[in-house]
Structure 1
Amino acid sequence: MRALINRLTHYEQLSKEEAYQLLVAISRGEFNPSSIAVLMAVFMMRHISIDELEGFRNALQSLCKKVDLDIDNTIDLCGTGGDGKDTFNISTLASFVVASCGIPVTKHGNYGVSSVSGSSNVLEQLGVKFTDEIDVLKQSIHEAGICFLHAPLFHPAMKNVAPIRKDLGLKTFFNMLGPMINPAFPKYQMAGVFDLELMRMYGYLFQKGDVDYTILHSFSGHDEISLTSDCKFLSSEKEGIITPMDFDVNYVSDAEIFGGKTLEEAAKIFDQIISGKGTEAQNHVVCANAAVAISMVKKISLKEAFDLALENLLVGKAKNSLNKLVVISQKIEMQA
């Protein structure tokens, strides 16, 4: 590791194969925590290359516990995080809205590292029990329209990295990998990224696969549609700009989409919104993101998808999906 770190600090780049083998070695516990922390720090100080990102991704995909749900048209809505914006759990809420519209969702998520509440934190707070049991995941997606894939259960290779990331509490190159390593390998992927350079790399890597994708980055710096600014998108078919006018809504302020200072506050905000009691700004941001996913799968306009999403959110269909997921996961735990 010392020789490798020395190369990296002299601005050398790893080949795709070297990056692959590095992640495999980390997963085998061949390096101590201090060395791994230094490695992360080096990549925080310089841009990661496409070959390095692809090698890291390929390693985690090959090492993960793969999930076969016997469903072809699933979608994941997942952001890199690391944007430092402290919003509520927008993509997770949007996932339940999308599920309520009849689109099966395989939501990949983890505990927050650089934020108060990641998707795993808030769902655990609301009663969801995590599992890697395939029969439970199938029941969840068939009855609730969504299953939740808690990353540590499916990526054992990350067990040597998780405590170090938690201690650092900062955005690392592992943030960049999250939306690309869903163990269910969904057909559709809506990925939010924290900068335009990463959007370019995501586009290159997604083009090499068979996933139907849309990548999002708001000019305000958010890794999703924030409605605080216009949003750049890059998809399998085209690229362009999404504005609030595409949904016939207004811009919002950062304060209106703040996610709270504690996990308890984050869970309360989440519950209020999914229960149809969110503010107009909160509802619009959730449904704007859901609309992109719905539009991808159903091949309808963003406005039509937004209207469908908002209706399902306000009448309680998204909340119903969450309730079913909680019940299914808790029943399994009681049987264990």
Structure 2
Amino acid sequence: MGFMLAQAFHPSMRHAAPVRREIGIRTVFNILGPLTNPARAQCMLLGVAFPQLGEFMAEALRLLDIQHALVVHGEDGMDEITLSGTTTVWEVQDGEVKNWTIDVADTGLSRATTDELKGGTAYENAATMRRLFRGEGGPLRDAVLLNSGAALVAGDKVSSLNDGIAVAAQAIDGGKALETVDVLVEVSQKAG
């Protein structure tokens, strides 16, 4: 499970990166990236910035014969599962697309505004994640639990969102998440 920056791993996207940066708005590459993923992931949690893209992306993933995907759009405009209200989900599984809604109120997690979830610089965000993985609570932890739980559902590791949230909480609270990050940092530094 992970996030890979397209321009670092996808040859075509690497050449488009400078143009995308200069344009400064979402482009067709935001759609093409996940659909042309060279890793050919069969399970995924995929956020879309606009609700109109949800059904389109889900149908494209279905046609690509993706094993299991959750395409999500938060009602607040987030391209992930939101803590501020409801999130629309298009679930791709067994050659079908089903549409449903996640309400954070049904998860046992607390609502939060988008302002409470804003990040900072890369250094600040890394420090925040380390604090979170060491047990710091709050809205950021809840956002991580919620989206990690959904990723575990998409990866067929758990059967429900609430089970996924519990598994994610256990990984953080038991130190496994921080241990995994430390290994990733070490391997990344050795790789150059």
- Structure 2 residue aligned with 1:233: 89
* SS of residue paired to 1:161: helix
TM-score, L = length of structure 2: 0.87
1:17-73 Cα deviation digits (max 9, x unpaired): xxxxxxxxxxxxxxxxxxxxxxxxxxxxxxxxxxxxxxxxxxxxxxxxxxxxxxxxx
- Structure 2 residue aligned with 1:242: 102
Moved more, 155-164 or 251-260: 155-164
1:266 aligns to 2:125 (yes or no): yes
* SS of residue paired to 2:88: strand
Matched-pair contact (CA < 8 Å) for 1:284–1:310: no
TM-score, L = length of structure 1: 0.52
1:330 aligns to 2:189 (yes or no): yes
- Structure 1 residue aligned with 2:145: 287
Matched-pair contact (CA < 8 Å) for 1:246–1:302: no
C-alpha separation between the residues in 1 aligned to 2:184 and 2:79? 26
- Runs of at least 5 residues in structure 1 that lack an aligned partner in the other structure: 1-104, 111-150
How many matched pairs?
A: 186
Equivalent position to 1:215, from 64, 67, 71: 71
Matched-pair contact (CA < 8 Å) for 1:215–1:235: yes
* SS of residue paired to 1:184: coil
- Runs of at least 5 residues in structure 2 that lack an aligned partner in the other structure: none
Q: CA 1:246–1:295 in 2, change beyond 3 Å: closer, same or farther?
A: farther
Equivalent position to 1:319, from 178, 185, 189: 178
1:302 aligns to 2:161 (yes or no): yes
* SS of residue paired to 2:73: strand
C-alpha separation between the residues in 1 aligned to 2:105 and 2:126? 30
Matched-pair contact (CA < 8 Å) for 1:287–1:309: yes
- Structure 2 residue aligned with 1:76: none
- Structure 1 residue aligned with 2:4: 109
* SS of residue paired to 2:135: helix
The structure number with the bigger radius of gyration is 1
Identity across aligned pairs (percent)? 28
Q: CA 1:194–1:153 in 2, change beyond 3 Å: closer, same or farther?
A: closer
Q: C-alpha displacement at 1:108, in angstroms?
A: 4.0
